[in-house]
Structure 1
């Protein structure tokens, strides 16, 4: 997996790509969950042959594992937008904490007069304004690990406890992300004005909570519920449903571009 560079876009450690497709009809930028790396998201390119899939890689994970992680969304947005260019046409997908990051990145791009995504999809993510400070960020590592693993249904590597050095590095980035999420406050300014699509697992967040994302866009909104828990897309059948849904939205976005 390499830092993204193509069609004149400068290389940056903030973006990674498994399959470069400079001639793709559209690009999908994926924002990972707390403590997560973009690796599992960029593999979706295997099932989206006409799409260039890129992952947003925050400091403290993946090839940036040794970098100091960031603990606030404004600091992430400032450094991401100073370093990365999003090559249109493109769309955003963000899972859990990544949903907030994707949404606020889209708003910041609009505020700066830069190209904006054709749509934003938030996955398994509570909307802005929803209570999210559960005090997890202050727990000792062992308690934090148990709480996160219990809450999110096995989202952590099963052998994490066997390698103390790796565990410490992963816990550092996870704690930073949880701090970012628990201290998040919506950025000032107008809401997102483009299409927003919320999606989640039926055994995770209640549908009525995800439906509140409609309040945070003046554009079209949709809500899709799939079977499964917080990481519903790790089930092969549910992942196919998600990617089929994404593929339809991406095709619709490029069709709209061709009609312009």
Structure 2
């Protein structure tokens, strides 16, 4: 990937931009880091790093993870110790970013200076959809497509690619569907919620993130479905850059 480099195994980093705000991106279920690193081209004032989970992208040959606690422990280990940064997570990635932030606090580490969650209901809302991670390959992919879209016809027509995608989607859904939210003190981190106006996840579920932080949250809905940022990329990234740039750096360890 042009101007991108791998940081260890867990991070794919865009162009280095010393002195610019840093943004760590957490992909959606089945997503890879490359999509978010490419945002660097439209965000020249932000330094982007994206988390690459095992079993996809540059880590295709590695065993997948299927438990949230294992995933969070690995990611916490590669987060920066001092420099201020923001986090953005979409869908499944929003939940991971939230849990990483909670674990950073438990470990007495510096917290992100802003958390941006996208396309995911507040973790305290009980899941009502039936589990799908145990389904046969075709049924799994069909149900993911029905719920969220995002699966291209090219992938579905290629048996090898289809099996590969089903492998890491199954792992991500197993993490999601076996996850149990445990109540804790709200996070002292500014939080902004993004969503698509045509997504099945409604505004009330997005606003419910309020209980998870101490300050007032911001909620921004954009035209589009679950992957609204693909449909209106420039508009969404301008809004994202605005949130990242206007956040005052802080070191919140408790």
Using the size of structure 2 for normalisation, the TM-score is 0.91
Q: Taking structure 1 as reference, are residues 116 and 148 closer, same or farther at Cα in structure 2, changes over 3 Å only?
A: same
- Aligned to 2:230, which of 234, 251, 260? 234
- Aligned to 1:159, which of 154, 157, 170? 154
1:98 aligns with 2:84: no
CA distance in 2 between counterparts of 1:55 and 1:87 reads 18
CA deviation after TM superposition for structure 1 residue 257, in Å = 3.7
Q: Tell me the matched-pair count.
A: 246
Name the structure, 1 or 2, with higher relative contact order (CA <8 Å, separation 6+): 2
5+ residue gaps, structure 1, are 5-10
Q: Taking structure 1 as reference, are residues 86 and 249 closer, same or farther at Cα in structure 2, changes over 3 Å only?
A: farther
* Contact in 2 for aligned 1:129/1:185 (Cα 8 Å): no
CA deviation after TM superposition for structure 1 residue 241, in Å = 2.1
Deviation per CA, 1:7-62: give whole Å up to 9, x if none.
xxxx42111013222x0421110000001101111111111111111101111111
Match of 1:223 in 2: 219
CA deviation after TM superposition for structure 1 residue 142, in Å = 0.4
1:184 aligns with 2:179: yes
Match of 1:244 in 2: 238
Superposition map of 1:106-117 within 5 A: 106-117=101-112
- Aligned to 1:208, which of 204, 222, 243? 204
1:197 aligns with 2:197: no
- Partner secondary structure for residue 58 of structure 1: coil
* Contact in 2 for aligned 1:95/1:123 (Cα 8 Å): yes
CA distance in 2 between counterparts of 1:100 and 1:217 reads 14
5+ residue gaps, structure 2, are none
Match of 2:58 in 1: 63
Could you say what the CA RMSD is over the residues aligned between the two structures, in angstroms?
1.8
* Contact in 2 for aligned 1:93/1:99 (Cα 8 Å): yes
* Contact in 1 for aligned 2:32/2:52 (Cα 8 Å): yes
Bigger helix fraction: 1
Using the size of structure 1 for normalisation, the TM-score is 0.89
- Partner secondary structure for residue 25 of structure 2: strand
* Contact in 2 for aligned 1:94/1:101 (Cα 8 Å): yes
CA distance in 1 between counterparts of 2:93 and 2:146 reads 20
